[in-house]
Chains A and B, each alone.
Chain A
Amino acid sequence: MTDNILEVRELTKYFQTKKGSVHAVDHVSFSLKPGKTLGIVGESGCGKSTTGRTILRLIEPTSGEIYFDGQEITHLPPAEMKKLRKDMQIIFQDPFSSLDPRMTVSELIAEPLKYYPILQSRGKAREQEKERFVLELMDTVGLAPRLYNTYPHELDGGRRQRIGIARALALNPKLIVCDEPVSALDVSIQAQILNLLQELQEKRGLTYIFITHNLSVVNHFADEIAVMYLGSIVEKAPVQELFAHPLHPYTQALLGAIPVPEIRKERQEIELQGEVVSPIHLPDECRFCKRCPHCEDRCRQGVPPLREVKPGHFVACRKVENEQE
C-alpha cells in the first residue's frame, strides 16, 4: 500500500433528496501509483465527477476510506485538510464558468498564493516575486506574457482552460483530478490541451485522475481505466487490456457506440436499448440489468461484486463469472 499515492476503499456518497437517497457513488475502490493516470469513464449521471470531488473532499463522503500518501483523510479536520489540498488539485470541465469573470489572468493564477505560504519575500519584492511566479506558470502552460492583464472573457476556450491548468499547478501538487478538461473544446484545441497535460505529467511526475465520457481520449491518455455505471465501477483494467478484451456488456456497448472517423464496411452494432435508470431506489440486482442484452435470472440476485478475472482486470458481471467457472 505504501507505494500508492492514492487508495480509495469502498467510497460511498449518497445524496438525500425528497424522493429518496441518490446513489451517486456506491462502494467504489481503486488505487493509483504515482506518475500514473487513471481514467474514469461513464455517461452523464454515473457518478464519475462526484467520485473525483469526493476524493478531494470537496464533497464529504457518506462512508469509505481515502488514503492519500498513506494517510487516511476522510476524518481530517479542515486545517489539516487545507494543508493537504496543496498536493491535490482539480481542473474543471467548463473553462467558461469556472473562472471569476472579474479577475485578470494574473490574479486568477496568483489566487492560490493568497492561501498558501509560497512567496518568501516581503513588501515590494513580494510583488516582483509574484509576477515572476505567475509569468513562469503562464510560460509552462503556454500562455503569452501579453495576456497577463487580460480578462477571461477576452480569451477563447483553449486559453481559458490553460488558466485553469496554471491555477491547478500553482501549488505544485502531486495529484490532479481532471474533470472533463477537454470536452468543451474544439478538436484541434483539444489535442493541444491533451499534449500539454501529458508533457506536464512527464516533467513533473504528476498523477492524474482523468474523468471523461470520451473513450478515445482516455485511450490516448490513461494507464488504467475504470468504467462506471450508476455509481459503481463495473470494469477496471489496464488501458490496452480493456480496449482489446472488454468483458462487461456495458463496456462493450460503450466501445461499440463510439462513432469512429473511418469508413467502415460493416458496423458492429451493439446498440443499447433504453436509458440510464434513476439512481434513486435502486433494486438489489445488477445495475445494468434493464439495458443488458444478456440479462438472466441470476443477474437479478444481488449486485455482482467486482472480481479479478485476469491479473489487473476486474469486472462485475455474473455472465463473465459463469464463463470463468
Chain B
Amino acid sequence: MFKKQQNRVRIAKALETKRTSTPYAVSVEDLTVHYVTSKETVKAVNGISFKLPKKRTLGIVGETGAGKTTAMLSLMNMVPDPPGKIISGNIQVGGLDIRGLSQSELKRVRGKEIAMIFQDPMTSLNPVITVGDQIAESLLLHQDISKQEAMEQARGMLAKVGIDPDRAGEYPHQFSGGMRQRVGIAIALACKPSVLIADEPTSALDVTIQAQILHLMRELKEENDSSMILITHDLGVVAELCDDVAVMYAGNIVEYGTLEDVFNHTKHPYTEGLFNSLPNIHNRVSKLQPIPGLMPDPSKLPDGCAFAPRCPYATEACKAQAPYIKHFSESHLAACTAYHDEAFAIKRRETE
C-alpha cells in the first residue's frame, strides 16, 4: 500500500515537470491516424488541428466514419494499436504532451486530466461489477483514500447525477438506459477531470431522457469548470451545448468556428448539405435536399478534396489539389478550394 502511494507521488511529480503552461485545455496540431492492415491502410484522421480554450465546449460533428471517435481516442492515446497508428501530430492536454508520456504516466492522466463518456451505456459498463464499485475504481486509482471513503464519494457522485445513492450496490442491468448513461457520467466525472470527452452520449437514448442528460452534463461541466469535447452527428445537440463547432468529413476538419459562425454563416458546402438534409421541425418542406452519393472509402481517398465527388460546386481544381484553407475571421475557417474565387458563396436553404 505504502509503495503504491510512493509511486503515485513520484509519477505525479514527474508529470508536473513535463507540464508547460498554456491557456488551452487541449491543443492538437496536424494529427494523422491510420489503421494499417496487411490488406489496406485506412486513413481515418488526416492532419487535423484545433485548439480548445479552457472552460469551453467544442462540438465535433460528422457522419459515421468521419474519424471523430478516432481523433478523440488519440487525445488519450487510446487508439487500438495494432492496427491503429498515430502517424504524426502534436497532442497537448492541459499542457502535457500526450505522445511523450510513459504508460504509467498516461494512467495518471486518463480519468484525472481527461475522461470520456461513451456512446453506448448498454455495453460500456462492466456487467459483473456494481455501479458503486465502478465509480470508486477510478477514485481509488487517483486519490489516496480508503475503500470506504471511495465508496462514500461514489455514492455522492450517484446523488449528483440523479440516482438514489442506495442503489450503489446494484448492477448495470438493473438500471434503464438513461440511468446507465448517468452512471457513465458519474464515472467520467468522479475525479473532476479538466477535459471531458463525450462520444455521442445521448444517441442511444429517447428524446425526453436525452434532454435530461444534456441538462445534467451542462450543469456538471459548469460546476467543475471543465472543458468539454462533444462528438455527435446531431446538429440539434450541438446547438444546445457547444460554444465552438468542428465539422469533420473523411478524416479532415472541413469547417471550424464558433456556433454562430458555423450555424448562421455556414461556409463549407458539406456543412450546407448537412443542414439542408435535416428535416426541420419548424419548417416543413415538400422535399428534403440530401447530399448525393456516399462518403468515400477511407482506404481509397480521392486526390484533392475528399468531398469533391459529392459537392455541387466542385470544379476540376477541387479534384486535383488539396483544399484551400480560407480564414473568414479569427475564429472561422473552411477548407474549400472554391474560396479562391472571392465572389464564391454557398446558398443555404432559407429558414423563415
Contacts and interface: CB of A to CB of B under 8 A. Distances in A.
Interface of A: 43-44, 156-158, 186-192, 194-195, 198, 213, 215-217, 219-221, 239-240, 243, 253-264, 267, 269, 271-272, 275-276
A-side binding surface: helix, strand, loop or mixed? helix
A216 B280 contact: yes
B273 interface: yes
B88 interface: no
A187 B274 contact: yes
A192 B234 contact: no
A192 B273 CA distance: 12
A324 to B, nearest CB: 26
20 contacts: A43-B207, A186-B64, A188-B290, A191-B276, A191-B289, A191-B290, A219-B279, A243-B281, A254-B207, A254-B208, A257-B210, A257-B211, A259-B234, A260-B239, A261-B234, A261-B238, A263-B260, A263-B264, A275-B178, A276-B206
Contact of A187 (B63, B206, B239, B284): B63
A198 B287 CA distance: 9
A270 to B, nearest CB: 9
Contacts of B212: 271-272
Contacts of A267: 240
Interface footprint category on B? 35 or more
Contact of B207 (A186, A240, A258): A258
Nearest to A240: B284
Given A188-B274, A271-B215, A275-B176, A195 B206 contact: no
The 7 closest A-B pairs by CB, nearest first: A259-B236, A191-B290, A261-B235, A191-B277, A220-B279, A43-B206, A257-B211
B239 A263 contact: yes
A259 B210 contact: yes
A264 B276 CA distance: 18
B238 to A, nearest CB: 7
B263 A263 contact: yes
A275 B234 contact: no
Given A261-B236, A275-B176, A189 B210 contact: no
Nearest to B279: A220
Contacts of A262: 239, 263, 282, 351
A43 B211 CA distance: 13
A191 B279 CA distance: 8
Interface string B283-325: 0110111111010000000000000000000000000000000
